[in-house]
Amino acid sequence: MDAAMDVPPRGQDALHPDGQYSTLAKWFHWLTVPLLFAALASGLVIRFMKDDAKMPFYALHESLGLLILGLALARLAWRGFSPPPALPDHLPRPMRLAAGAVHHALYAALIAQPLLGFLTTNAYGFPLQGETAFLGFIDLPKFMEAAPGLAHVLHWGHSLIGWVFPLLLAAHIGGAIFHHAIRRDGTLLRML
């Protein structure tokens, strides 16, 4: 028998028979969740706000986006030092492929969405300064001069990902619930 096969998954115990994510990976995940839902909610309501009330929502939305970007990049860096536990052998190949596709798409969206938003505001001529400073008080350098045509294209991409996010989240959360409630295979517990 291969010696590598004798090594139990990291964090394996009675509650986590298939191993578990590291404590820091769990923190990254669970800090991202409320930030993401708040960013999605604030992004949806901005268009319905009166012009004189929009700036606080833009400041909140943009700050949340940059926090999410920072967390996503930190998560990816941490994965390089502390890889997640391998998917268990008992998962059928289609489930493995679906899980991988959703996770990759979520990471791509967590990085692309805030970058597109940041570039969009800069292209519209509204860098994160003054009323829309990062976290309300940190002015970020102006990245580019106003470019309305580019801003329109970037905004379209930002909006498109904004509408795809709920589908990705539904697939991710639905998969976790399916594994926990139907398959009862401990997959959800790896992140708890």
The CATH number given to whatever domain includes residue 126 is 1.20.950
184 pLDDT tier (thresholds 50, 70, 90): confident
Q: Is residue 3 part of a domain?
A: no
Residue 76 lies in a domain: yes
- Window from 110-114, 134-138, 158-162 with minimum mean pLDDT: 134-138
Buried b (16+ CB within 10 A) or exposed e, 40-49: bebbeeeeee
Residue 12 forms part of a structural domain: no
Q: What is the pLDDT of residue 3?
A: 47
- Could you tell me the two tokens for 163? 């509408």
The mean pLDDT value for 9-27 works out to 76
Domain presence at residue 119: yes
Residue 1 covered by a domain: no
How many domains does one find in the chain?
A: 1
pLDDT number for residue 141: 86
Helix axes 23-46, 54-81, angle to 10 degrees: 160
123: in domain:
yes
Domain that holds residue 41: 19-191
> Under a CB-based contact definition with an 8 Å cutoff, are residues 190 and 16 in contact?
yes
Work out the number of other CB atoms within 10 angstroms of the CB of residue 79. 15
Establish if 4 belongs to a structural domain. no
Cα 135 to chain centroid, rounded: 19
Q: Do 72 and 107 form a contact (C-beta atoms < 8 A)? A: yes
> Which of 10-19, 152-161, 174-183 has the weakest average pLDDT?
10-19
Whether 134 contacts 128, CB under 8 Å: yes
Phi, psi of 106 (to 5 degrees): -65, -45
d(CA 155, CA 124): 9
Pick 6 or 175 by higher pLDDT: 175
pTM above 0.85? yes
Evaluate whether 90 touches 51 at the Cβ level (below 8 Å).
no
The per-residue pLDDT for range 165-175, each reduced to its tens digit, is: 999 999 999 99
Is 2 part of any domain? no
Bridge partners, 134 (sequence order): 138
